Structure 1
């Protein structure tokens, strides 16, 4: 299936994981700098949230219209373009450190993420070959690499600001450029899976059967992440803790990696149900930490929320989607799943930013927390009811297969 002169799959797998990490590393690289850009441009929290949402404004069209692109042109070209877009976006904010340039940079990052959101999962699964657990392993490694990348960029910038607060732009932005360039060139060393030039350029994402509820779950989870990245930095900056925005972003994203092994051992629906408890709980603690300027509470809440946002909910849902469709549909099915995720990553952020400008940050966070609790509770009851109905049906039709019924109920 792959060209023989390329790297063998066992070496290509870690290389692809590093490349996906670097694509997502750039996304939140400037998160701790958002208040600085806003102050330089004379804008408030609402404008910051809008610039942040430019990421999704470019990502969603990519998911909608380019979900099947990698099936036609191959997996490597979209990956190389994504890395170069990350480089271009970072250079844009280095050249013009303003909120407008940040919006343009985040549009570059959104297009980059949209190009690899579905194809990266499909590519990783293909590299695992004919193994029975290829879909699960592929989804798990992609989830680990991307969740670590989304948070680490902000963390590195935050550390640079703490170590050298007067050095702007921080070294982290300059250091990313050569890494992204080398990674883009290294795409040529990856195996080249078969292309299908007869497929149309534009194909819609697909929804894997029975996974709409899992999509709504990741929507709620990533809404919490979006508010932390897009709105919380301005609240921290108002109290003189702007550099801590990088830690907040890292904790709410990348610490979820610690919980992914536990999520892999759980049935997907059970993992998602656990996430529906942890997301509102964690965000409530985090919001109290923001309002009362308590950094330990903020970071503890971020870890609790992240255990679901990039642990149980993210991995459970992605693994279920990856396994629910034929190999030919994996890229488009993953794109469909991420459409839910990034809707949650955008609309609540802009709404919360507007509420913060109009009524104050405590009111905005309180309203979002209430909405998150109500949505999570309603979805948990829906999933529980569907699982019970499925278990009842399985027991009635196959009474001798109790273990299978128990797995379905889980």
Structure 2
């Protein structure tokens, strides 16, 4: 059953929550264009850079595993406040110590923050839409839009700062985020407070709705492509004097997917995921060729095509299907289960690709990853075609 709110939502509640979720994710890739600077200051290679980025998932996965139902017990607002403050702390760490080690600590803060709102944010947004028949779809769509824009915009703003004022380190984008995050945390008090359920256990595992494992595997592949772009590609661009363009590559591989979400919403969720499975390897192949041959237009074009799936068709289609396939009381935990797949893809392939790049060179690492994307996407497209019926049965 839908979790009731102790006060009716105001006309500003839905956009305010969207802005707050945007700011939680805005900081996640804020330092992406700065990774070569941190690595140079710390004398580490590509593998270490990828490992620092993977600290994000090292904190996020335990949060998803252990705290998936926390917001049902303490309310939706407290995890949101903590997430915004963790974003502030993580950004301050890299301002205070601009090194790869501090970046790892910041990424851990961001991972815990994202883990706190990954499931509860989707459930909260759906609840704010009330008893509408399409509340689950609308809630998932707005969360997907706010977070995909946030994940890419932080890197874009930092990249623009580096182009406009390359000698200003740290860039203005990091300093500006601190008061914004603090103001957003204070503004959580303006949101309606869903009723708490103090009798539910503190620790509850995520849940997987029947038939949704292929959807999880699809977002795993899609976000693996995103992770490689964010964690590995900046060093390749820096090697050719294009470090500032890492922010644009991150933005294109994340936030341009927002442009395709309206098209994804008009499709059946599973069909949207299958379209995404065709676009992810295609876009990454173009991007990989752009990296190998140092073609910025190819890098950005490939990133945009991949993003149409990573944060457009695959992300929105899968999240909407999962959100609709479970009872309202399970939505936070079901979304957490979906994001477990996503963030596994965001970490392990990135570290593996970084290690391969250090050992065998960037072209070999990208070629192997592209081949894995092609094989995995083709296999999943076949599986999803067979299991569409299971995804229409609510738990």
Q: Return the TM-score normalized by structure 1.
A: 0.92
Q: Is the 8 A contact 1:93 1:105 kept in 2?
A: yes
**CA drift at 1:387:** 4.2
How far did 1:185 drift?
0.4
Query: Could you report, residue by residue, the CA deviation over 1:296-315 in whole angstroms, capped at 9, with x for unpaired residues?
Result: 00000001000000000000
Q: Deviations over 1:123-148 (max 9, x none)?
A: 00000001110000000000000000
| Cα pair distance change 1:331/1:387, threshold 3 Å | closer
Q: Distance in 2 between matches of 1:234 and 1:289?
A: 14
Residues 334-358 of structure 1, C-alpha deviations (whole Å, 9 max, x = no match):
0000000000000000000000000
Counterpart contact for 1:225–1:253, Cα < 8 Å: yes
CA distance in 2, matches of 1:149, 1:180: 13
1-structure distance, mates of 2:19, 2:225:
26
- What do residues 214-251 of structure 1 show as CA deviations (whole Å, max 9, x unaligned)? 00000000000000000000000000000000000000
In 2, are the aligned partners of 1:56 and 1:107 still within 8 Å (CA)? yes
3-state SS, counterpart of residue 243 of structure 1: helix
The number of residue pairs the alignment matches comes to 387
Shift of 1:197: 0.3
Could you say if the C-alpha distance between residues 372 and 45 of structure 1 is closer, same or farther in structure 2, counting changes exceeding 3 Å?
A: same
CA distance in 2, matches of 1:153, 1:105: 14
Task: State the shift of 1:398 in Å.
Answer: 16
TM-score (normalised: structure 2): 0.96
The answer to whether the 8 A contact 1:9-1:127 is kept is no
Deviation at 1:383, TM superposition (A): 1.6
The question of whether the paired residues in 1 share the 8 Å contact of 2:324 and 2:394 is answered with no
Asked whether the 8 Å contact 1:9–1:128 carries over to 2, the reply is no
- Measure the CA separation in 2 of the matches of 1:346 and 1:47: 13
1:208 is displaced (CA, Å) by 1.5
Question: How far does residue 10 in structure 1 lie from its aligned partner after superposition?
Answer: 2.4
Mapped to 2, the partners of 1:71 and 1:79 lie a distance apart of 13
Is the CA contact (8 Å cut-off) linking 1:251 and 1:299 kept in structure 2? yes
Q: CA deviation at 1:385?
A: 3.1
Q: For 1:399 and 1:50, locate their aligned partners in 2 and report how far apart those are by CA, in whole Å.
A: 39
Give the gaps of 5 or more residues in structure 2: 1-8
Q: Measure, in 2, the Cα distance between the counterparts of 1:175 and 1:398.
A: 46
Quote how far apart the aligned CAs of 1:203 are: 0.4
Contact 2:287/2:298, CA 8 A, preserved across alignment: yes
Distance 1:110 1:317, change over 3 A: same
**1:286–1:397 CA distance, 2 compared to 1 (3 A):** closer
* Residue correspondence of structure 1 range 180-195 to structure 2 within 5 A: 180-195=181-196
Aligned CA RMSD, in angstroms, stands at 2.5
Name the counterpart of 1:134: 135
